[in-house]
Amino acid sequence: MTACIVGWAHMPFGKIQDKTVEDMIVEVATDALAHAGLGPADIDEIYLGHFNAGFSRQNFTASLVLQADPAFRFKPATRVENACATGSAAIAQGIKAIQANRARKVLVVGVEQMTTTPGKEIGDNLLKASYLPEDGDTPAGFAGVFGKIAHLYFEKYGNQNDALAMIASKAHSNGMSNPYAQMRKEMPFEFCRDESEKNPIVAGPLKRTDCSLVSDGAAAVVLSDVESAQSHDQAVLFRANEQVNDFLPMSKRDILQFEGCKVAWKQAFSNAGLTIDDLNLVETHDCFTIAELIEYEAMGLVPEGEGARAIKEGMVTKDGKLPVNPSGGLKAKGHPIGATGVSMHALMAMQLTGNAGDMQITDANIGGIFNMGGAAVANYVSILERVK
């Protein structure tokens, strides 16, 4: 690959009502540049990941990055959107600009502000990431879509309540170590497993603890061509960066296989010349616990239908064979749509350079990222390796 991450910034996710979308963009853009030791004059192109879909009245947001510094004026800035994979889509565009020799340094920002929107509208906005002719009237909105998936999985492979509760509990335990996480609170297995007043059923077999958080936040990374990256104190190389899109209607595919996810991982491993056994950790898209369960299978960690083994046998815990979501994932960290993919890359860069603090996985040198838009529709896989 011809791109590296040489700087990053990440603000705490959560309910942020004292800052606007513009404020958050400016904050992380400024901090990422400072972390990379660069100024606006060094940046050739800007990409902003911002889903919006009704969350913000300001819908034309690419040039808000220029508010970070007047010296950004006249730099090309483009907003990128691909549902919940928006942040990774923005990074992919930045890498392509570098590969095409149109840029040597690219600033990528991901942002979303969701909590200022009324609850009913939040659900309506998120449901726009599904195929409305089939799913537009789904009770419980996007959670209902994944509730259907969970119901079908349970029907085919048996009750998975214990496995899903273990995934949720793992996420919250890991999130305790993440200073950027929205929810830094332990959730015992029994609480996550049992339906209760505080943990009601949301959709299908999914409970509240199976669902990621409505969240605000922003993150940013600075991308560089490999040659220029050598002058930086820290650099993380893209060994692979793959995008695979699948049909939007779930009726046109086997939704229990997450085939787009599977193909994206396969392509990434092939292009990187690696296998899953070479990875030291993974950050994967756990918008719902059932998604993480199926992703264990799609990435090749366990065979189809045996996702529960990965969590029950401890493969994916922080001290397991392949730690998955040591950050706490979307489940504990929060899921501000446009920021999520950028956040995953920033956190992975921290891990691979030994800067992840209490989240740190020992001897982490190669990591994988999976970020998806919709129900495994827009699928992005990155494989990153420390080079400095």
Sheet holding 4-10, edge to edge: 77-80, 45-49, 105-113, 216-224, 4-10, 236-245, 378-386, 366-373, 281-283
Q: How many CB atoms lie within 10 A of CB 179?
A: 10
**251-269: string of b/e by CB count within 10 Å (b at 16+)?**
eebebbebbbbbbbbbbbb
Q: Which residues pair with 297 in a beta bridge?
A: none
User: Residue 13 and residue 63: Cα distance in Å, rounded?
Assistant: 23
How far apart, in Å, are the Cα atoms of 42 and each of 61, 71, 214, 222, 328? 22, 10, 35, 11, 34
User: Residue 1 and residue 136: Cα distance in Å, rounded?
Assistant: 40
Residue 320 burial by Cβ neighbours in a 10 Å radius (0-12, 13-18, 19+): middle
Cβ–Cβ under 8 Å, residues 88 and 384: no
User: Residue 198 and residue 38: Cα distance in Å, rounded?
Assistant: 47
| Helix axes of 337-352 and 86-99: crossing angle, nearest 10 degrees | 60
Residue type, 222: V
Single out the residue of 70, 11, 52 nearest to residue 346, CA to CA: 11
Residue 211 a catalytic site member = no
Cβ–Cβ under 8 Å, residues 109 and 21: no
Residue 335 a catalytic site member = yes
Q: Which of 172, 232, 335, 345 is catalytic?
A: 335
User: Residue 346 and residue 88: Cα distance in Å, rounded?
Assistant: 11
Q: Which of 84, 192, 211, 287 is catalytic?
A: 84
Dihedral sign of CA atoms 293, 299, 304, 310 in order: negative
Catalytically active residues, by annotation: 84, 335
